[in-house]
Amino acid sequence: MNLEGKIIGNRYEVITKIGCGGMATVYKARDNVLNRNVAIKVLREEFTTDEEFIKRFNIEAQAAASLTHPNIVSIYDVGNEGDLHYIVMELIQGKTLKEIINENGVLPWKWSINISIQIASALEMAHRNNIVHRDIKPHNIIITEDGIAKVTDFGIAKAVSNSTITAFGTTIGSVHYFSPEHARGGYTDAKSDLYSLGVVMYEMMTGRVPFDADTPVSIALKHMQEEAVEPIKLNSTIPQVVNNIIMKAMQKDVNLRYSSATEMLRDLRDALKDPNGNFVHIEKMNNDSPTQRIDLNENNISNSKKKGKIREYFAKHKVAKVFAILLSCILVFAIAMWGTVFFVDKNRPKQVQIPDLVNDNIEDAKKELDSLNLKYEITEEYNSEKEAGIIISQEPKYQDNYEINDTEVIKLVVSLGSEMTEVPKVVGETKEDAEKMISNAKLKIEFTEEKSEKVEEGIVIRQEPSANEEVEAGSTVKVYVSIGRGIKQIEMVNVVGQDESTAKKTLEDLGFKVKINYNETSSDNGKVTKQSIDEGKEVDEGTSVTLTVNKVIATKNVTVSINIKKITNYNPDDGENTTGSNNNTVNIRVNDERRTGISKNTSNYNNITLSGKEGETKEIKVVISDPKTGEEIYSSTKNFTFGSQDTITFE
């Protein structure tokens, strides 16, 4: 199946195939959520029908995903789409250690030790988390372009069932690095990884594996039965202490190997510092049996005679002899197998389903662990989300159907409850000192700037909560810091001579408020002649500035139109008007302008014009009187703004 160009899990866009193994195909892909390149290992189709294998595969991959170490390839995600099962991993740019050995042959011993230290460090982390690799080999170790060793496929080998392993094309390659117990199908643990690491070191420093043959079975038998040629005999440049480290790691008896990756790591580091040292000691099993005394009594003589008769019988009956030999071999083999199984079962740690202890009370958890005969270590830490005595986390983590050895130690982290701390007094301190003091008290800080007429800029005015108050560690303290008066100072510019609109915009853009006073003049209309604040003076932002602006005032005329006929109700046919006077004329006064002898039959008398400044409001009063008696017939007053209209009418 070619997945190039496809998107897996609605997230990973497959770019290209970068490798193919017996168990899976590896692709380079783009994580479209986090915008980074990743490697995706997709199980080959022939393994997706094995439900037990898939189950173990998911459990082990999820367990391995919890490992975080610079020498372990990180697992980001595990998932499936139908029959497509995949693991998303860190994408490493580099070569496998196997490729480097094939290209260079024998590698320098110091470089090899450096790589071995990194591998051992990765194994140390994994073993502490109860994860055994079970397939350490150069093919599973990637060396980055910076020379960093990255171990991949942690825990995946455990998913491989007996029915599946024979189908892998990589079995021949892997068996070169199997421990004796792995080769015989026995129980494997952390020490099996150390044996495999010893084989990897052997190959790096000699350019060859310690055991090789035409078939995997033959190689496995050599791991179980033969002693490897010491690497120092194949490469004389290897220090004796390095030779001893390799041979100790490759001891067939697990009890004679390094007890842990930590112990092997210590010797590897010491070997770099002191290559001539004599600090690695390899113990040997005592296979010598003491001499036994045989009593030559009558029973022994009788037994000898019986043995003689048996030999004589078999000499005459050769078929019976062959049958007896075969039967004896079968019996010996059966007894040996039974003894091996009995010994392994007897000495194999008991498997126990790991309990889920997170959020349990520690006392209840202790009782449960004691009932399961499991060991545990307890560390305590403050936690604001969990009450005191409640378990925050456990290692190994709980998983369904995940069993551990009853010899393994479960590490528990128990809450001490919320940590309380005292708020320091920071009022009067500088902003920088306040930040340090609050941080040292395990508190967070939130600054707010505030204007102050009394406290200088950069000094703390007040705080919340107040000093010496007890609060939870991690709480936030609000600190108010002075920014002084907080009013910006602006330097006045000169706008005299500018147009009113230009000068006003200039000052408003600087932050001033502008007021205008007009100076009536006959020239320079609209020009600023004076400003209330002198050029160069610094004043507060928002200060008002008064500008004096020339304004030429135009003269405007208005014609006063009077409907005398309507006002006097004059009717020529009556002979006399309604006022009772028989005179057909009237006198008119408009403000100070006077007219006499005006006919009452005039509908639109407009011979009086008044003048005034544009925009000026003036009172216009019209009085009509009898020319004989002087009596006022009509009087009316109106306010008029010059320039608003040309005519004002009275009627």
Fold of 351-415: Trypsin Inhibitor V; Chain A (3.30.10)
Is the peptide bond between 70 and the residue preceding it cis, with omega within 30 degrees of 0? no
CATH code for residues 7-90: 3.30.200.20
- Please tell me the distance from the alpha carbon of residue 620 to that of residue 636, in angstroms, as a whole number: 8
Q: What is the pLDDT of residue 286?
A: 52
- Please tell me the distance from the alpha carbon of residue 272 to that of residue 202, in angstroms, as a whole number: 17
What backbone torsions phi and psi does residue 637 show, to the nearest 5 degrees?
-125, 135
Given a contact cutoff of 8 angstroms between Cβ atoms, the answer to whether 369 and 352 are in contact is: no
CATH class of 420-482: alpha beta
Given a contact cutoff of 8 angstroms between Cβ atoms, the answer to whether 608 and 595 are in contact is: yes
Fold of 555-650: Immunoglobulin-like (2.60.40)
Fold of 489-551: Trypsin Inhibitor V; Chain A (3.30.10)
Q: Please report, for residues 520, 560, 563, 649, the alpha-carbon distance to residue 645 in angstroms, rounded to integers and kept in the order given.
A: 22, 11, 18, 11
Helix (H, G, I), strand (E, B) or coil at 510: helix
Q: What single-letter DSSP state applies at residue 574?
A: G
Sorted by where each begins, the domain ranges of the chain are 7-90, 94-273, 310-347, 351-415, 420-482, 489-551, 555-650
Q: What is the pLDDT of residue 579?
A: 47
Q: What is the pLDDT of residue 441?
A: 92
Q: What is the pLDDT of residue 154?
A: 76
Q: Profile the chain (651 residues) by mean pLDDT over runs of 10 residues.
A: 87 91 85 93 80 75 82 90 88 93 94 96 91 90 92 66 38 77 85 96 96 90 92 95 96 93 95 92 61 41 50 61 70 64 55 89 92 89 88 88 80 90 94 93 92 87 92 91 82 93 94 91 87 92 92 88 92 59 83 92 92 89 93 93 92 90
Q: What is the pLDDT of residue 168?
A: 38
AA identity, residue 334: A
Structure tokens at 365: 């958890």
Q: What is the pLDDT of residue 296?
A: 39
Q: What is the pLDDT of residue 525?
A: 86
Q: What is the pLDDT of residue 436?
A: 94
Q: What is the pLDDT of residue 295?
A: 42
In degrees, rounded to 5, the angle at the alpha carbon of residue 116 between the alpha carbons of residues 112 and 117 is: 120
In degrees, rounded to 5, the angle at the alpha carbon of residue 405 between the alpha carbons of residues 404 and 409 is: 85
Q: What is the pLDDT of residue 477?
A: 95
Q: What is the pLDDT of residue 153?
A: 82
pTM of the model: 0.46
Q: What single-letter DSSP state applies at residue 396?
A: S
Q: Please report, for residues 14, 33, 82, 85, 356, the alpha-carbon distance to residue 11 in angstroms, rounded to integers and kept in the order given.
A: 10, 6, 16, 15, 32
Share of the chain above pLDDT 70, in %: 86
AA identity, residue 117: I
The distance in angstroms from the start CA to the end CA of the chain is 106
Q: Regarding beta strands 12-20 and 141-144, do their DSSP bridges make them parallel or antiparallel, or are they unpaired?
A: unpaired
DSSP 365-383: HHHHHHHTT-EEEEEEE--
356 is catalytic: no
Query: Do 420-482 and 489-551 fold alike per CATH?
Result: yes
Q: Regarding beta strands 75-81 and 513-520, do their DSSP bridges make them parallel or antiparallel, or are they unpaired?
A: unpaired
The catalytically annotated residue of 31, 50, 77, 135 is: 135
CB environment 427-465: b (16+ within 10 A), e (fewer): eebebeebeebbeebebebeeeeeebeebeeebbbbbee
In degrees, rounded to 5, the angle at the alpha carbon of residue 229 between the alpha carbons of residues 226 and 232 is: 155
CATH code for residues 94-273: 1.10.510.10
Helix (H, G, I), strand (E, B) or coil at 157: helix
AA identity, residue 293: R
- Please tell me the distance from the alpha carbon of residue 41 to that of residue 24, in angstroms, as a whole number: 6
